[in-house]
Amino acid sequence: MSTEPDDIPAGQLRTMQIIAAAMIMGVVFALAIFLFLLLVQQQRTILTQIDDLQAVSLVALLLFVTNAPLSLVLPNIVTRNSLTQIAAGAAPLDGLLAIRQTTLIIALALLEGAAMLGCIAFFLDCHALDLVVVGVALALMLARFPTRNRVRTWLARRLAMLEESRLGKA
């Protein structure tokens, strides 16, 4: 297999896109169902006062504040550790694509967990802060969606890192 980032196999890219879309759509559908149940069927109003916050809303906020940075840091740690393992290989594209898919799942799962807890907190408390947690988590998930250009850029950077690593050892 080639080591050029332009040679991204369509099947591997599509797999990453399906995984990302499924995780994002799970949150979107949960939020839509909860919004419908609360605002249409029960005709509840969204609370906005900090005094109205319940424990589950605070836990959702705490989980988001913890997981959002982790969704940026953990994939980089996994990538760095994995790059050292494939540095000796001749054609690293398959290994890099596997790393990209793994780190994508890690990042999205951390954000999805916070978003889903935000949905549940909204269902229980009907507080605007819960919608903010869900909205920001969804925005971060969408920002990580694996388009061809994003994957190509990621691959090019990691291939350069591998080359630097090989040159440093020579």
pLDDT at 5: 63
Whether the pLDDT of residue 128 is over 60: the answer is yes
Residue 36 CB burial class (10 angstroms; 0-12, 13-18, ≥19)? exposed
- Using DSSP's 3-state secondary structure scheme, residue 47 falls into strand
Q: Is the dihedral of CA 152, 155, 161, 162 positive or negative?
A: negative
Whether the pLDDT of residue 1 is over 50: the answer is no
Cα–Cα dist 3/125, whole Å: 51
Q: What is the mean pLDDT of residues 9-24?
A: 96
pLDDT at 88: 66
Cα–Cα dist 35/94, whole Å: 42
Instruction: Tell me the per-residue pLDDT of 33-80, one tens digit each, with 9 for 90 and over.
Output: 999 999 999 999 998 888 878 999 999 999 999 999 999 999 999 998
Cα–Cα dist 141/114, whole Å: 11
Beta strand ranges found along the chain (DSSP E): none
Pull the structure tokens for residue 133.
């947690």
**Which one, of 148, 26, 166, 9, lies nearest residue 89 by Cα?**
166
pLDDT at 146: 97
- Rounded to whole angstroms, what are the CA distances from 87 to 31, 41, 161, 167? 43, 57, 9, 11
Domain ranges (residues) in the chain: 9-40+54-162
Residue 29 CB burial class (10 angstroms; 0-12, 13-18, ≥19)? exposed
pTM score: 0.88
pLDDT at 15: 96
Percent of the chain with pLDDT over 90: 74
**Which one, of 62, 57, 61, 55, lies nearest residue 46 by Cα?**
57
**Which one, of 158, 148, 140, lies nearest residue 76 by Cα?**
158
Contact 140, 68 (CB under 8 A): yes
76 or 4, which is more confident: 76
pLDDT at 77: 94
Instruction: Tell me the per-residue pLDDT of 84-99, one tens digit each, with 9 for 90 and over.
Output: 878 766 567 888 999 9
